[in-house]
Amino acid sequence: MKPFILLCVTLLSLSATADEVAKRLSDKLHLHQRFTADFQQYTLGEGSAREELSSGTLWIEQPNRLRWETQEPFPQLIVGDGENLWIYDPDLEQATRRTLDASQSFTPASVIGASEAELLERFVVTEIDAGINAVSVDALFELRPKVGESAEFERLRILFNDQNLSEILIEDGLGQRSLIMLSNLKFPAQIAPSQFIFAPPPGTDLIEARTE
At 47-59, the pLDDT tens digits run 666 667 889 999 9
pLDDT of residue 48: 61
The residues spanned by each domain of the chain are: 10-63+107-197
At 52-108, the pLDDT tens digits run 788 999 999 987 889 999 998 899 999 988 888 899 999 999 999 988 765 456 677
| Amino acid residing at 207 | I
Closest CA to 71 of 93, 55, 58: 55
CA 125, 129, 133, 136 dihedral sign is positive
At 144-181, the pLDDT tens digits run 888 766 677 888 899 998 889 999 998 887 788 889 99
Where is 7: in which H helix or E strand?
Answer: helix 5-8
Q: How far is CA 123 from the centre of its chain?
A: 15
Strands (E), 62-171: 65-72, 76-81, 84-89, 94-99, 123-129, 137-145, 155-161, 164-171
Whether pLDDT at 132 is above 70:
no
The CATH superfamily assigned to 10-63+107-197 is Lipoprotein localisation LolA/LolB/LppX (2.50.20.10)
Specify the higher pLDDT residue, 115 or 86.
86
Q: What is the pLDDT of the chain when averaged over all its residues?
A: 81
Where is 36: in which H helix or E strand?
Answer: strand 34-44
pLDDT grade for 212, boundaries at 50, 70 and 90: low
Pairing of strands 94-99, 205-209: parallel
